């Protein structure tokens, strides 16, 4: 997994977030503060610009730049959580994409203190990591993330702003799980042929 491949992934994620910005915001307006689409769109636009301005020459540096950009540019919960995801991935990308995503997921769990079933991005990211750890493809991981996203609809939120609504949060799809499903969709579209290549495959 080299810097060019990861740039393609993050660029595609930025495109998907931009295209679905209004949908993400509509989901967040139902159970949050209506800023998830604009926050993620602004953050990923900044990431793509930062990577283009001074392209990092290795995968770890690229992921670190991505994480620090999101932490500094995106407010609310999503900046620190997505930032942590990428920063933790930076430390493990030498082992391959699946171990890196698992490390990122563990960072998100530690930072957000959410558990599976709390109606957060964890509910999309966890199933995707499980699929990859079991040897599944990125396409299968993306499907697992999408299924996890769909499964947030009936849940009562136990973390984040949506939890203030209590039972009234049920019946709405979680915006964070929705953007995370886009992250995995982007991975399947751009990295599907190169998954499983660790550092040994990258000169
Ligand atoms: Mg929000």
- Condensed to tens digits (0 to 9), the pLDDT of residues 54-66 reads 999 899 999 999 9
Our CA angle for 182, 16, 6, nearest 5°, is 75
Q: For residues 129-156, give the mean pLDDT.
A: 97
Q: Is residue 149 over pLDDT 80?
A: yes
Say how many Å lie between the CA of residue 102 and the centre of ligand 1. Answer: 25
Say how many Å lie between the CA of residue 28 and the centre of ligand 1. Answer: 6
How far are the Cα atoms of 50, 67, 130 from residue 46, in angstroms, in the given order? Answer: 6, 11, 30
Say how many Å lie between the CA of residue 57 and the centre of ligand 1. Answer: 33
- Condensed to tens digits (0 to 9), the pLDDT of residues 83-129 reads 999 999 999 999 999 999 999 999 999 999 999 999 999 999 999 99
Q: What is the DSSP letter of 195?
A: T
Q: Please tell me whether the overall predicted TM-score, pTM, comes out greater than 0.95 for this model.
A: no
CB neighbours of residue 171 within 10 Å:
12
Q: What is the DSSP letter of 115?
A: -
Say how many Å lie between the CA of residue 202 and the centre of ligand 1. Answer: 38
Averaged confidence pLDDT in the chain: 93
* Polymer length of the chain: 203
Say how many Å lie between the CA of residue 94 and the centre of ligand 1. Answer: 33
How far are the Cα atoms of 45, 103, 149, 154 from residue 143, in angstroms, in the given order? Answer: 25, 20, 10, 19
Domains, the chain, with CATH or none: 3-190 (1.25.40.340)
Say how many Å lie between the CA of residue 172 and the centre of ligand 1. Answer: 14
Q: Is residue 189 over pLDDT 80?
A: yes
pLDDT at position 181: 98
Say how many Å lie between the CA of residue 42 and the centre of ligand 1. Answer: 13
Alpha helices by DSSP H, listed for 152-192, are 175-191
Say how many Å lie between the CA of residue 75 and the centre of ligand 1. Answer: 9
pLDDT at position 195: 59
Contact 55, 7 (CB under 8 A): yes
């Amino acid at each position: 997994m080299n810097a060019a491949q990861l740039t393609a992934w993050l660029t595609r994620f930025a495109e998907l977030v931009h295209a679905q910005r209004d949908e993400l915001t509509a989901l967040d307006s139902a159970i949050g503060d209506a800023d998830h689409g604009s926050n993620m769109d602004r953050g990923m636009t900044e990431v793509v610009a930062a990577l283009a301005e001074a392209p990092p020459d290795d995968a770890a540096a690229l992921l670190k730049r991505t994480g620090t950009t999101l932490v500094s540019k995106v407010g609310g919960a999503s900046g620190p959580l997505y930032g942590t995801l990428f920063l933790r991935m930076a430390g493990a990308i030498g082992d391959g994409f699946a171990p890196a995503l698992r490390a990122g997921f563990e960072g998100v769990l530690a930072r957000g203190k959410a558990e599976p079933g709390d109606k957060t991005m964890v509910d999309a990211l966890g199933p995707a990591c499980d699929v990859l750890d079991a040897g599944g493809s990125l396409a299968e991981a993306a499907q697992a993330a999408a299924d996890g996203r769909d499964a947030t609809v009936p849940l009562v939120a136990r973390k984040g702003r949506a939890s203030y609504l209590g039972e009234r949060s049920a019946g709405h799809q979680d915006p964070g799980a929705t953007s995370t499903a886009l992250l995995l969709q982007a991975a399947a579209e751009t990295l599907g042929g190169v998954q499983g290549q660790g550092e040994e495959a990258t000169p």
